[in-house]
Chain A
């Protein structure tokens, strides 16, 4: 029976014996699922026998342990300060974001706050799917603009309220009066102001394809956010961008805060947005999947109207 060809042994890194699937014994070939790599499948895993040479780094700890014993330095487990067993960290791999977390929860919070509901068109990050929808509708939908001239189109941002208003100012008044939103919360950002502000801010999150134009249509896109006073001041529009350190600070304090008992909108205290970045990556986001359309909805039926 043919022995598998041995690749040149290296002393560093796993030494891999060529997988003998091709000239494997016939007996087990029938058992094994033959997965030939089909054209276009980017997955590269194949089972491999790993042979480790004497000087391989994987053997380092055991060798040191052995020699400590030979040199009369062995210590019993009880006396030993145990070598630290480390747990993998989690990291946000979105291009441009290099945040690292020690728990999955921290990662999830970061991701959900910063990357989840992002508008495809202008790269702004919204705290929830509903607000993302409203944003897209009010900022990027020309049909909305037309209809808004004749009927009440601006929805109250509080989920379940259902009321609609002719202008964004009316809506803002309603939010303050009826839903008791803090009056010093700056709603009055129309899109032109918002655009200027975002241009001043840092470039962040260049993972998504750049949109060069800032939204032109009227209307204010805002979200309620009960920002505690100890958080750094930034534009209260939810698209406001914060620097990474500020983000970390707010992130950490966000973790310890209690949720505001306002609407669901106010839960996320993170206000971030992404600037329209200079395109640094040449790959294209497939049109079928886009955060801006609501990521989880991408599969349940595509909204055709914005295409």
Chain B
């Protein structure tokens, strides 16, 4: 994965202590979190030059601006040094102030476009490099200035030069978030069919596939994507191409699959009707991949960056499940090993990515909600004890897992007995005492299902000291919980005296 490696090198080369790096990273993470809460989470990507391995500005602002002005001046006269000037210009345009100054200069974009479309291939490449630097600008008035270039960038998507196509794609992808005008224009200019063709013709060129995936993911995240963009995308050949690239190539790495998976996630989670994707067997594909990833993780092969692929796959399956009728479940999901994979992912990522563990539990909930087959699979594959052991963990993990166990109990009385035999009763005696009232309420509901499933379960609960726990719960500050406790005690009394 070329991007991951680069960051790793960056950490060691710069001489930043690990602690400083972590601090910076934490700051940045906080900013991203806030951006997401404001629904403003956008990112741009910078494709580095071959001679670079760090995305750092190489000169200070004043020099950059000076250089840019000089170079621009020089470029207006043609000559053999044009290529060199252009290359130097692209370096200067790394600087945000230089970017602003450039677009304010009269005819600057015009010149760039003419070089972009001229007969000199090297100049074209350098020109697109300049545009790429501009597209990465933190100032959002730069993107609209690049509009004149966009039809050409689109046209070049059907070209054959890998590096050139990549640059075009990333440039376009960077331009989307900044301006509705740009986005609307590009959609009108046919970016969706262009992307479809590109991914189809270049599907063996994984670097280009990755770039298409990125650009598409940017497009799919715009605010009105659900109404304006997604229906068109779904009607095109893009979904099937995305699915065909999902399985990562061992040599190239996870990056293309990651991009395509996130595209699929944006497609499934933005709209309610997922018929099209189900018809494309998206759920089958995603769940098979999860099974192999889960298997890899379970056998200790946790590849770096794997979670970047697992997140979107989980989400696709989770949301597609909410749309899939239960009788189609087995055909759409495949065999029941998906539950084993999900449990493996839960355990493997519990400490390092608790959110991933939580999302795995969510998928398990959707699998078990109405399906006896999947409930039964969890029991048959002996996965329940592992789930019970996860009940102490908060941040939504234990509530989701308890829902899964509740689904199983709700499904069949026989499952209740099995759950009781696996230690759920004593676990519930503990969860009933938790601070989280949602856990307490859910625990009572599960407990009720268990004790009414049979006298032996009721008796075992009493043996575990359950009565005193319930009596205490009768004095809970929440009325709904008190009600449940009282009712449960009454039920137990009836069950035990009858036996």
Chains A and B form a bound pair = yes
A85 CB contact (under 8 Å) in B351, B410, B476: B351
Q: Nearest-CB distance from B435 to chain A (Å)? A: 4
Tell me whether A66 and B311 are in contact (CB under 8 A): yes
Write the chain B residue with the least CB distance to A25. Answer: B327
Within 8 A of B (CB), among A95-135: 95-96, 100, 104, 107, 111, 115-116
Tell me whether B406 and A208 are in contact (CB under 8 A): no
Tell me whether A72 and B3 are in contact (CB under 8 A): yes
Write the chain B residue with the least CB distance to A104. Answer: B430
Tell me whether B467 and A296 are in contact (CB under 8 A): yes
A69 CB contact (under 8 Å) in B3, B41, B269, B369: B3
Tell me whether B269 and A52 are in contact (CB under 8 A): yes
Tell me whether B371 and A42 are in contact (CB under 8 A): no
Question: Bound complex: CA of A104 vs CA of B393, how far in Å?
Answer: 13
Within 8 A of B (CB), among A34-59: 35, 40-55, 58-59
Which one of B24-32, B86-94, B100-108, B161-169 contacts A? B24-32
Within 8 A of B (CB), among A274-307: 283, 285-286, 289, 291, 295-296, 298-299
Q: Nearest-CB distance from B184 to chain A (Å)? A: 21
Tell me whether B435 and A91 are in contact (CB under 8 A): yes
Q: Nearest-CB distance from A291 to chain B (Å)? A: 7
Q: Report B-chain residues with C-beta under 8 Å of the C-beta of A77.
A: 304, 352
Write the chain B residue with the least CB distance to A20. Answer: B370
Q: Report B-chain residues with C-beta under 8 Å of the C-beta of A111.
A: 433, 472
Contact with A along B356-386 (1 / 0, CB 8 A): 1011001001101111100000000000000
Number of interface residues of B (CB under 8 A): 112
B20 on the A face (CB < 8 A):
no
Which one of B6-14, B151-159, B194-202 contacts A? B6-14
Tell me whether B410 and A42 are in contact (CB under 8 A): no
A252 on the B face (CB < 8 A):
no
Contact with B along A61-88 (1 / 0, CB 8 A): 1111111111111111101111101111
A61 CB contact (under 8 Å) in B318, B355, B436: B355
Q: Nearest-CB distance from B143 to chain A (Å)? A: 17
B392 on the A face (CB < 8 A):
yes
Number of interface residues of A (CB under 8 A): 85
Please judge, given known A-B contacts A58-B359, A76-B304, A81-B22, whether A68 and B395 are in contact too, CB under 8 Å: no
Which one of B245-253, B335-343, B439-447 contacts A? B439-447
Q: Report B-chain residues with C-beta under 8 Å of the C-beta of A42.
A: 480, 483-484, 487
Tell me whether B486 and A286 are in contact (CB under 8 A): yes
Q: Report A-chain residues with C-beta under 8 Å of the C-beta of B480.
A: 42
Write the chain A residue with the least CB distance to B479. Answer: A283
Write the chain B residue with the least CB distance to A207. Answer: B475
Tell me whether A58 and B478 are in contact (CB under 8 A): no
Tell me whether A73 and B269 are in contact (CB under 8 A): no
Tell me whether A91 and B3 are in contact (CB under 8 A): no
Tell me whether B407 and A67 are in contact (CB under 8 A): no
Tell me whether B489 and A289 are in contact (CB under 8 A): yes
Q: Report A-chain residues with C-beta under 8 Å of the C-beta of B32.
A: 64, 67-68
Tell me whether B350 and A49 are in contact (CB under 8 A): no
Please judge, given known A-B contacts A52-B362, A58-B362, A295-B468, whether A43 and B448 are in contact too, CB under 8 Å: yes
Question: Bound complex: CA of A129 vs CA of B330, how far in Å?
Answer: 56
A261 on the B face (CB < 8 A):
no
Q: Nearest-CB distance from A64 to chain B (Å)? A: 5
Please judge, given known A-B contacts A50-B366, A52-B319, A296-B467, whether A88 and B358 are in contact too, CB under 8 Å: no
B326 on the A face (CB < 8 A):
yes
Tell me whether B272 and A6 are in contact (CB under 8 A): yes
Tell me whether B410 and A45 are in contact (CB under 8 A): yes
Q: Report B-chain residues with C-beta under 8 Å of the C-beta of A181.
A: none
A17 on the B face (CB < 8 A):
yes
Tell me whether A49 and B321 are in contact (CB under 8 A): yes
Tell me whether A86 and B393 are in contact (CB under 8 A): yes
Tell me whether A24 and B487 are in contact (CB under 8 A): no
Tell me whether A62 and B305 are in contact (CB under 8 A): no
Write the chain A residue with the least CB distance to B46. Answer: A72
Q: Nearest-CB distance from B226 to chain A (Å)? A: 9
Question: Bound complex: CA of A21 vs CA of B39, how far in Å?
Answer: 35
B461 on the A face (CB < 8 A):
no
Tell me whether A76 and B36 are in contact (CB under 8 A): no
Which residue among A9, A32, A88 has the maximum number of chain B CB atoms within 10 Å of its CB?
A88
Within 8 A of A (CB), among B195-231: 214
B185 on the A face (CB < 8 A):
no
Q: Report A-chain residues with C-beta under 8 Å of the C-beta of B359.
A: 58-59, 62
Tell me whether B39 and A55 are in contact (CB under 8 A): yes
B270 on the A face (CB < 8 A):
yes
Please judge, given known A-B contacts A31-B412, A42-B484, A52-B269, whether A88 and B436 are in contact too, CB under 8 Å: yes
A104 CB contact (under 8 Å) in B3, B258, B433, B436: B433
Q: Nearest-CB distance from A34 to chain B (Å)? A: 10
A213 on the B face (CB < 8 A):
no
Within 8 A of B (CB), among A1-47: 1, 3, 6, 9, 17, 19-21, 24-25, 27-28, 31-33, 35, 40-47
Tell me whether A93 and B440 are in contact (CB under 8 A): yes
A94 on the B face (CB < 8 A):
yes
Q: Report A-chain residues with C-beta under 8 Å of the C-beta of B358.
A: 58
Tell me whether B446 and A94 are in contact (CB under 8 A): no
B307 on the A face (CB < 8 A):
yes
Q: Nearest-CB distance from B361 to chain A (Å)? A: 10
A75 CB contact (under 8 Å) in B7, B322, B434: B7
Question: Bound complex: CA of A115 vs CA of B476, how far in Å?
Answer: 12
B59 on the A face (CB < 8 A):
no
Please judge, given known A-B contacts A28-B327, A69-B3, A295-B471, whether A45 and B446 are in contact too, CB under 8 Å: yes
A185 on the B face (CB < 8 A):
no
Please judge, given known A-B contacts A72-B3, A73-B28, whether A86 and B394 are in contact too, CB under 8 Å: yes
- Known contacts A47-B411, A286-B486, then 11 further A-B pairs from the complex at CB < 8 Å, ordered by chain A residue: A31-B372, A54-B270, A58-B359, A64-B32, A72-B46, A74-B305, A75-B21, A79-B21, A86-B395, A283-B482, A291-B471
Contact sample, A vs B, 25 pairs, CB 8 Å cutoff: A19-B370, A32-B370, A43-B444, A47-B370, A47-B403, A50-B362, A61-B354, A62-B355, A66-B311, A68-B32, A69-B4, A74-B3, A75-B22, A76-B8, A76-B304, A83-B354, A87-B394, A88-B398, A88-B435, A94-B472, A96-B477, A104-B430, A115-B475, A116-B472, A208-B475
- The list of the 7 closest CB pairs from A to B, nearest first, reads A61-B355, A91-B435, A45-B445, A51-B322, A207-B475, A70-B43, A47-B369
B interface with A by C-beta (< 8 Å): 3-4, 6-8, 10-11, 18, 21-22, 25, 28-29, 32-33, 36-37, 39, 41, 43-46, 55, 214, 258, 262, 266, 269-270, 272, 304-305, 307-308, 311-312, 315, 318-319, 321-323, 325-327, 350-356, 358-359, 362, 365-366, 368-372, 392-396, 398, 403, 406-407, 410-413, 430-431, 433-437, 439-440, 442, 444-446, 448-449, 467-468, 471-484, 486-487, 489, 493, 496
